[in-house]
Amino acid sequence: VTIFRNVKDLDKLMCSTIDLGTGFAGEGKIYFSIAVDSISSMLRRASVSSISSFLSNLR
């Protein structure tokens, strides 16, 4: 389990997510999950459009 507490930089968060997913793929796993604990916490630090883009890119 990896927990990211700094959500100010959504680009960095996306890169870290992709890096973790790539690591799992290297182990032969196909799927991994992302859990967002609080969108309201993210909204305090980033715009709605950037959060929407982040969530869309996760798909």
Q: For the chain, what are the domain ranges? A: 10-58
Q: Rounded distance, CA 55 to CA 59, Å? A: 7
Kindly indicate the confidence band of residue 3, based on its pLDDT and cuts at 50, 70 and 90. confident
* Average per-residue pLDDT for the chain: 79
Decide: 2 and 19 in contact? Cβ < 8 Å.
Answer: no
pLDDT band at 47 (very low <50, low <70, confident <90, very high): confident
Mean pLDDT on 54-58: 84
Mean pLDDT of 2-31: 76
Q: What is the pLDDT of residue 26?
A: 64
Please name the residues in contact with 50: beta carbons below 8 A apart, sequence gap of 6 or more.
Answer: 10
